A = this chain, B = another copy of it.
Amino acid sequence: MTENIYVVGHKSPDTDSVTSAIAYANLKAQLGVKEAVAAAAGNVNNETKFILDHFGLAAPMVLTDAAGKKVILVDHNEVGQAVDNVMQGDIVEVVDHHKIGDIQTGKPIFFHNEPVGATGTIIASLYEQNGVAIPKAMAGIMMSAILSDTVLFKSPTCTEKDKAAVSKLSQICGEDPMKFGMEMLKAKSDIKSKSALDILMGDFKKFDFSGTKAGVGQIEVMDLADLTPKRAAILDEMKKKADAEKLDMIVLMLTDVMKEASDLLFVGNAASAAGFEKAFGGKLANNSIYKEKCLSRKKQVIPPLESAFKK
């Protein structure tokens, strides 16, 4: 019996991390690596569930601990974002589109990171490079991941390569990208059904900014006003989370995808508050700084925080 190789995305799984695991496991299987198994680091969110249902796929198994297991990491390359004990497992590949983190290995592995809008774009090109046909459902979920991560091409992380991939994938899956993308965003931003904790943890990642321990989450909505009634409860959950996890700060991006702006909620200690204000060139008012033209955590929130805390 051969040992499974789990293809898994980051904690607080979003659409790109879940669909990339499914599509990459499919590619590996087509290449003869039958032991590749798609996994997710937690339960899938509303948007991902909508997409998987639409293309007739089941949610992948949940994997929360990698100790003693072979894993392929997709859509992340930082220990703090990975399933527990990832360094006590055996990381055999990494496919990602983020900044280069702190994963180290004892031997050479395939590690491919590319500055494009979604991991789905990279995996679509890996099908092509390996001469493997993309099944219809795989095309559908990769197209969805690219539309989700780039907020329908509006995010500054979006590249020509992402647009070209969506164009090709939409032909295979037979869906109109913009029409399907709007339905997807509606499924995602069904705020009323969500608790303050769901809103905070729906897309939450940990970072280490030169020793400052931080959590940075994001929620995308069609209208920021929908969140106003829950604002106090969300700040309360942020404080509880920072205490429980001994974090110096938590930032939650409340992103208005129609206005293309984000209200950056902040909780944290005084030193972190100073760094946060430095990063975004403003003063905290009512626990937040509002930024126009701010959609991307990866490109517009993490780099200024990295710089502001650099020693």
Q: Please name the residue on chain B nearest to A113 by beta carbon.
A: B111
Of A171-179, A243-251, A295-303, the one contacting chain B is A295-303
Q: Which residues of B contact A109 (CB under 8 A)?
A: 99-100, 113, 115
Task: Report the minimal beta-carbon distance from A119 to chain B, rounded to whole angstroms.
Answer: 11
A105 within 8 A of B: yes
Give the number of copies in the complex: 2
Task: Report the minimal beta-carbon distance from A259 to chain B, rounded to whole angstroms.
Answer: 25
Q: Please name the residue on chain B nearest to A100 by beta carbon.
A: B105
Q: Please name the residue on chain B nearest to A209 by beta carbon.
A: B106
- How far, in whole Å, are A137 and B283 apart by their CA atoms in the complex? 57
Size class of the A contact interface (CB-based, 8 Å): 20 to 34
Q: Which residues of B contact A302 (CB under 8 A)?
A: 106-107
Q: Please name the residue on chain B nearest to A307 by beta carbon.
A: B106
Q: Which residues of B contact A106 (CB under 8 A)?
A: 99, 302-303, 306-307
Partner of A100, one of B99, B103, B157: B103
Q: Are B99 and A107 in contact (CB under 8 A)?
A: yes
Task: Report the minimal beta-carbon distance from A311 to chain B, rounded to whole angstroms.
Answer: 12
1/0 contact string of A115-154 vs chain B (CB within 8 Å)? 1000000000000010000000000000000000000000
1/0 contact string of A68-105 vs chain B (CB within 8 Å)? 00000000000000000000000100100111111111
Q: Are B108 and A104 in contact (CB under 8 A)?
A: no
- Given known pairs A112-B112, A129-B129, the reply for A303 and B107 (CB within 8 Å) is yes
Q: Please name the residue on chain B nearest to A111 by beta carbon.
A: B113
Q: Are A107 and B101 in contact (CB under 8 A)?
A: no
